[in-house]
Amino acid sequence: VGLRPPERPASSRENRRGSIKVSDPFDLDATLTSGQVFRWRPVAGAWEGVVGRRWVRLQPLPYGRLAVQTAEAVTDWSWLEDYLQLGVDLPGILATFPPDEPLRRAVSACGGLRLLRQDPWECLASFILSSTKQIVQIQAVIAQLCERFGEPVIVPAGHAAAHAFPSPERLAGVSEVELRACRMGFRAKYLREAAWRVASGELDLAGVQRFPVPEAREVLMRLPGVGRKIADCVLLFAFGFSDVFPIDVWAARALRAFYYGGTPVPLRQLHEFVASYFGPHAGYAQQYLFHYIRVHDGGLDP
DNA sequence: GTCCAGGATTTTC
DNA sequence: GAAAATCATGGA
């Protein structure tokens, strides 16, 4: 795992392109479309997005490589290796899954699905905006939010403008009416309150990393509009607590269909089940089941 | 008009 | 305490 030197070392753009060798399976398409991130866009067989303050283009290559293009010269690629979690031993994680038929099918369908390591603020804000919205709508809301309030980032010459995710300081100063103009509805007041608490220092978001899961979850759930599910998404996608299993309508649907014969099991019982059944990387199992039932299983059950 | 979405909160037993 | 009812909004 690591970044290979560019094909043409003498070029002045030598640090703007490279390719990453990924020894383990890495399904970029499944990873970026599995509902954990909302900012990546498919462009001509590749994916374009913004990580932190950097515009990035990723393209799958043969033999387990990823082509990487940035807009500015880069010497230290640790930010991308961290975001893509290239140091993670995915086969080792999959080996901890219980050997049941649903997981076997899900892993077989998208064996290179990864969990990314997202910025906590962007992740928290994104999932505050996610509640009772479809993924395509969440993408649209966040795109508007970034375009209107995010700082422009450097893009390749001639490329359309791109923006960083707006900081909590910026969003704390945006009116609820302006936020609602991004089609986020009642979530506007929740986003503003979260931005205010983070910007003021009342909520030390980075500090959440140091807490055990129950305390970290409790801290996040003090925010209005953040319940168990959204808190768990932030714990899993931003803080890397890979044993956390967020249960949304789709995950609940998958659990009931695959493990309870489609019977209407209450949510509380599902939480008890996932806490003991899926093992130390239950969050990965969740992502596989979530993506599988949405994309590969027709999304329907009896 | 109806139904649904990577839910949260309030009310009620 | 947990289960049920209410809230909420844009799009298909």
Tens-digit pLDDT profile for residues A198-247: 999 999 999 999 999 999 999 999 999 999 999 999 999 999 999 999 99
- What are the pLDDT tens digits along chain A (302 aa)? 455 544 443 344 457 887 787 878 899 999 999 999 999 999 999 999 999 999 999 999 888 889 999 999 998 999 999 999 999 999 999 999 999 999 999 999 998 999 999 999 999 999 999 999 999 999 999 999 999 999 999 999 999 999 999 999 999 999 999 999 999 999 999 999 999 999 999 999 999 999 999 999 999 999 999 999 999 999 999 999 999 999 999 999 999 999 999 999 999 999 999 999 999 999 999 999 999 999 988 544 43
| Distance, Å, A192 CA → C11 C1' | 24
| Distance, Å, A220 CA → B2 C1' | 35
Strand nucleotide closest to residue A268 (CA to C1'): C2
Residues A183-202 as b/e (b if ≥16 CB within 10 A, e otherwise) read: ebeebbebbbbbbbbbbeee
- Is the CB of A135 less than 7 A from some atom of nucleic acid strand B? yes
What integer pLDDT is reported at residue A7 of this predicted model?
42
Residue closest to sugar C1' of C8 by CA: A186
What integer pLDDT is reported at residue A4 of this predicted model?
55
CA–CA dist A28, A20 (Å, integer): 12
Strand nucleotide closest to residue A233 (CA to C1'): B6
Burial class (CB in 10 A: 0-12, 13-18, 19+), A162: buried
Q: Are A233 and A127 within 8 A, CB to CB? A: yes
A2-4: strand order across its sheet: A2-4, A17-21, A65-70, A54-61, A46-51, A41-43
Residues with CB under 7 A from strand C: A 132-134, 136-137, 140, 180, 183, 185-186, 266, 268
Strand nucleotide closest to residue A128 (CA to C1'): B7
Residue closest to sugar C1' of C11 by CA: A137
Burial class (CB in 10 A: 0-12, 13-18, 19+), A288: buried
Tokens coding A73: 């010269």
What are residue A49's DSSP bridge partners?
A56
Strand nucleotide closest to residue A283 (CA to C1'): B6
CA–CA dist A51, A189 (Å, integer): 26
Q: Give how far the C-alpha of residue A72 lies from the chain's centroid of Cα atoms, to the nearest Å.
A: 24
CA–CA dist A244, A283 (Å, integer): 5
Instruction: Kindly report the bases of strand B lying within 7 A of a protein C-beta atom.
Output: 4-9
Q: Are A47 and A37 within 8 A, CB to CB? A: no
Beta strands in A139-219, from DSSP E residues, in sequence order: 152-153, 162-163
| Distance, Å, A208 CA → B9 C1' | 24
What integer pLDDT is reported at residue A170 of this predicted model?
98
Helix A187-200, helix A120-128: angle, nearest 10: 160
Strand nucleotide closest to residue A141 (CA to C1'): C10
Residue closest to sugar C1' of B7 by CA: A131
Task: Give residue for tokens 């993670």.
Answer: A88
Strand nucleotide closest to residue A183 (CA to C1'): C10
Q: What's the predicted TM-score (pTM) here?
A: 0.94
CA–CA dist A295, A280 (Å, integer): 25
- Is the CB of A134 less than 7 A from some atom of nucleic acid strand B? yes
What integer pLDDT is reported at residue A296 of this predicted model?
86
Tokens coding A36: 């954990």
What integer pLDDT is reported at residue A9 of this predicted model?
37
| Distance, Å, A122 CA → B3 C1' | 30
User: Residue A59 is inside which H or E element, if any?
Assistant: strand A54-61
Task: Give residue for tokens 């998208």.
Answer: A110
